Amino acid sequence: MLGPFEDYQGNPILEPTGKGFEAERVYNPAVTIADGVFWMLYRAEAGDECTGRIGLAESSDGLHFTCHPEPVIVPEYDYEEMGCEDPRLVRIGEAFYLTYVGNSARSGPMDICLATSKDLLHWEKHGPILQPAHAWDRRQVKAGAILPEKVRDKYVMYFMGEAEPWETAIGLACSDDFLHWYEPLDEPVLLPRQGHFDSKGVEPGPPPVLLDEGILLVYCGWADDHAYKPGWVLFSREQPGKVLARSDEPILEPAVNWGERFGITNHVVAESLLWHEGRWWLYYGAADKVVCLAFAHREH
């Protein structure tokens, strides 16, 4: 269904500035194209106690980005007091919908939060939209990836649930209005697999894409080494919790050992997938430090 991907030779496309809110890290990008412009929301860290502020950058070609000088989303409320992390972005009509992780405390739970905007600069926050509801996701929920088209008159969101640290699965949530979400199933829809790159945990990546064949979701998986690698899964259009196919191998391995270069784990965290100019563009965070890009043509 997807891949293999090849890294862009100009990586990384976004790096820390060494000053301000993005002094230490810029990673986990959410990218969309609006009116011919590439817009990127990204998680940034300054090296202080805050685990994330969300910055905005723009580009005419998707390769060279100019960052706005100040973050567009910062911690304001109790549910996000330690940080606003890992944005995922979709556009419906004239509005942009952003899910992000609200870090309420360094040792406490994390929730999926929602914010909306008309211009990507000014955001209205709607607070947490999904909390743990079952034994399999009792510790926390995060990484809400929303399909921007309705399926059977419902909006669909895939999310990560965690029962124990690093032991995760992917669940399904539904909504009529984008603001109120519920889990229609008692069990997760995607589990780790023994003997594979995703043997210990799985987490949704970019917002899913609706294809003729089904709902395509890129996700991140990890084994005992806790190094994230992206794969894909195809869900049924009629039954969004039913798996039709799944990649046996990662669709991308880092061409550079980013972990060795930056002294941080060698994560490849995919959070944006665009179909543009006849190929897939996969934006990802590398080593929790920089933003990178990879390309692939669609397999038939």
pLDDT tens track for 153-182: 999 999 999 998 889 999 999 999 999 999
Please report the DSSP string for 126-141 in residue order: EEEEE---SGGGSSEE
Q: How does DSSP classify residue 258?
A: H
d(CA 194, CA 201): 10
> pLDDT class for 2, splitting at 50, 70, 90?
confident
Report the pLDDT value the prediction gives residue 263, as an integer from 0 to 100.
Answer: 60
Spans of all domains in the chain: 12-296
d(CA 199, CA 221): 7
Tokens 């919790």 -> residue: 241
pLDDT at 63 over 70: yes
What is the rounded average pLDDT of the residues 44-73? Answer: 97
Q: Do the Cβ atoms of 113 and 80 come closer than 8 Å?
A: yes
pLDDT digits (tens, 9 = 90+) for 230-284: 999 999 999 999 999 999 999 998 767 766 676 667 788 999 999 999 999 999 9
Q: How does DSSP classify residue 299?
A: P
Identify the bridge partners of residue 291 per DSSP, sorted by sequence position.
14, 285
The count of other CB atoms within 10 Å of the CB of residue 95 is 12
d(CA 86, CA 112): 10
Tokens 């890294």 -> residue: 7
pLDDT at 298 over 80: no
What is the rounded average pLDDT of the residues 3-21? Answer: 93
Rg over alpha carbons for the chain, rounded to the nearest Å, is 17
d(CA 36, CA 60): 7
Q: Point out the least confidently predicted range of 44-53, 204-213, 264-273.
A: 264-273
pLDDT at 300 over 80: no
Q: Which amino acid, 253? A: E
pLDDT at 144 over 60: yes
- Residue of 96, 123, 102, 112 whose CA lies nearest to 31: 96
> pLDDT class for 97, splitting at 50, 70, 90?
very high
d(CA 201, CA 216): 19
- Residue of 225, 296, 231 whose CA lies nearest to 266: 225
Tokens of 230: 């992206």
What superfamily in CATH does domain 12-296 come from? Glycosyl hydrolase domain; family 43 (2.115.10.20)
Tokens of 11: 């990586």
What is the rounded average pLDDT of the residues 67-88? Answer: 96
pLDDT at 112 over 70: yes
Q: Do the Cβ atoms of 245 and 222 come closer than 8 Å?
A: no
Mean pLDDT estimate for the chain:
93
